Amino acid sequence: MIHKIKPSSRRALVPKILVSRDCGPAGCEIDWLSSRQIEADDDPEALIELSLAQGWGDGLPLVAPTSGRVRAFLAANDRYPDELIARMPDESECTVEKIVINAVMAGAPAESLELIIAAIQAIAEPDFELYGLNATTAPVYPAFVVNGPVRERLKIPYSYGCAGGVATRAVAISRAIRLIMRNVAGQKPGVSSQTTFGSPGRVTGLLLGEWEEKSPWAPLAERRAGVRGDAVTSFGTMGTMNILDTTSIGAHAFFEMIGKSVAYPGANCFSPSMEYSEMMIGINPIWAELIAKEVPRIEDVQELIWRQASVPGDWLEPLHRGQVEAQGRIREDGRIYVTPEPKDIILFVCGGLGGLHALGLHSFGSCLTQTKPIAKAVAAGQVEAAE
């Protein structure tokens, strides 16, 4: 029996409306900040050493999260610092204040708070299985795909070098999320995490946009969750894979190269320890345009890639073949597929216009992709007028 992916809930997702409620950088009459404060040398190198000694640094330079900087960050937004955003796997509370402190340290812009909050809410969903992601021996980390106009406001890369190498503060935003996972969710290698090798993504994370304007299909967030406009999708990835094809000129040749490339036995997708998995693939705009001319429906694209993304069961030695066969994962055609169903091949459009490449993101397995709308603020007067 094939274990199919069935999310535990299908709630309607709508962007939260925020009402302006900051007190300015000087703070309120009642001090909302509750985190323990320590005195530290303002020398950058001393701050790095202190952060490592205290266990809340990642080894890179940090911006000192002074009360003034934290208040200024809050004043630029519309959240109370004690507002609870999510509970982490160890039941620790991830509040706005804790998010802001880590965002300041990472160098993230104040305008990114709602994106960070939406990302944290996505990975805190039970179906994302953050506990397993934190504790595993694998190098898995959350990758985030952003949709909507917020891509331009925050300069989230979706073109050349979108998976790394572009000089943009989006790197600081994804690093902020990683610091939150370290300092609030408690992901520390050798302590709460048994990751064997780790990954560069466990330091800076991965945050990129979808090039919606170049996509022949609806945006990812709209297709997955019906969310139009600003949204973020989280995916538990083992890392990035480049898929090269310099000679194909037709859709079906691309499908073969993509599908057969992502289907390798050592991926978690084929591990008997994982009964199901997903696969995320970034298709460059040149390929997307050519593909859509031959295969307009993205559901058909998913299925055609899925049919190529398999390995023959008799390719494996008896030990490994017997394990997956016991799970019912060898189909009638004698093949083992990378995901239970074609719908679990998650596609989006991104990358430069040079063509030739696709981006493969293999899943951890038990982390199911989540999409969240990004909240928008309105002035209090507008809400009162509407009422």
Instruction: Give yes or no for residue 282 having a pLDDT over 50.
Output: yes
pLDDT-based confidence at residue 326 (cuts at 50, 70, 90): confident
What is the widest separation between alpha-carbon atoms in the chain? 71
| Count of other CB atoms within 10 angstroms of residue 381 | 10
Query: Mean per-residue pLDDT for 282-306?
Result: 96
Task: Quick: pLDDT tens for 137-167.
Answer: 777 889 999 999 999 999 999 999 999 989 9
- Cα–Cα dist 181/174, whole Å: 11
Instruction: Give yes or no for residue 101 having a pLDDT over 90.
Output: yes
pLDDT at position 355 = 76
Could you write out the DSSP letters of every residue in 14-29? -PPEEE-----TT--S
pLDDT at position 381 = 53
Packed helices 113-123 and 170-183: angle between N→C axes, nearest 10 degrees: 50
- Residue 141 pairs in a beta bridge with 237
Query: Which residues lie closer than 8 Å to 158 by C-beta, 6 or more apart?
Result: 146, 151, 208, 209, 210, 211, 350
pLDDT at position 17 = 63
pLDDT at position 342 = 95
Nearest 5°: CA angle at 359, between 364 and 146? 80
Instruction: Give yes or no for residue 383 having a pLDDT over 50.
Output: no
Task: Quick: pLDDT tens for 338-356.
Answer: 999 999 999 999 999 987 8
Q: CA torsion 361→184→112→80, rounded to 10°?
A: 150
Question: How many alpha carbons lie under 13 Å from residue 212 in its C-beta half-sphere?
Answer: 20
| Count of other CB atoms within 10 angstroms of residue 261 | 18
pLDDT-based confidence at residue 386 (cuts at 50, 70, 90): very low
- Cα–Cα dist 173/11, whole Å: 27
Matching residue, tokens 């080894």 = 59
pLDDT-based confidence at residue 90 (cuts at 50, 70, 90): confident
For residue 294, with 0-12 CB atoms within 10 Å meaning exposed, 13-18 middle and 19 or more buried, which class applies?
middle
Instruction: Give yes or no for residue 25 having a pLDDT over 70.
Output: no
pLDDT-based confidence at residue 287 (cuts at 50, 70, 90): very high
pLDDT at position 26 = 54
Matching residue, tokens 């040398």 = 41
Are the C-beta atoms of residues 288 and 357 closer than 8 Å to each other? no
pLDDT-based confidence at residue 284 (cuts at 50, 70, 90): very high
Instruction: Give yes or no for residue 176 having a pLDDT over 80.
Output: yes
16 or 355, which is more confident: 355
pLDDT at position 343 = 95
Instruction: Give yes or no for residue 192 having a pLDDT over 70.
Output: no
Pairing type for strands 310-312 and 93-95 reads unpaired
Instruction: Give yes or no for residue 69 having a pLDDT over 60.
Output: yes
Residue 209: enclosing H or E segment and its boundaries?
Answer: strand 206-209
Q: How many helices and strands in the chain, by DSSP H and E?
A: 14, 13
Nearest 5°: CA angle at 184, between 180 and 185? 90
For residue 195, with 0-12 CB atoms within 10 Å meaning exposed, 13-18 middle and 19 or more buried, which class applies?
buried
Question: For residue 375, what is the DSSP state?
Answer: P
Query: Mean per-residue pLDDT for 63-80?
Result: 90
Q: Tokens representing 227?
A: 């969310």
Residue 324: enclosing H or E segment and its boundaries?
Answer: helix 318-326
Instruction: Give yes or no for residue 103 having a pLDDT over 50.
Output: yes
Instruction: Give yes or no for residue 24 having a pLDDT over 60.
Output: no
Whole-prediction pTM value?
0.89
The least confident of 1-5, 88-92, 149-153, 311-315 is 1-5
Are the C-beta atoms of residues 116 and 79 closer than 8 Å to each other? no
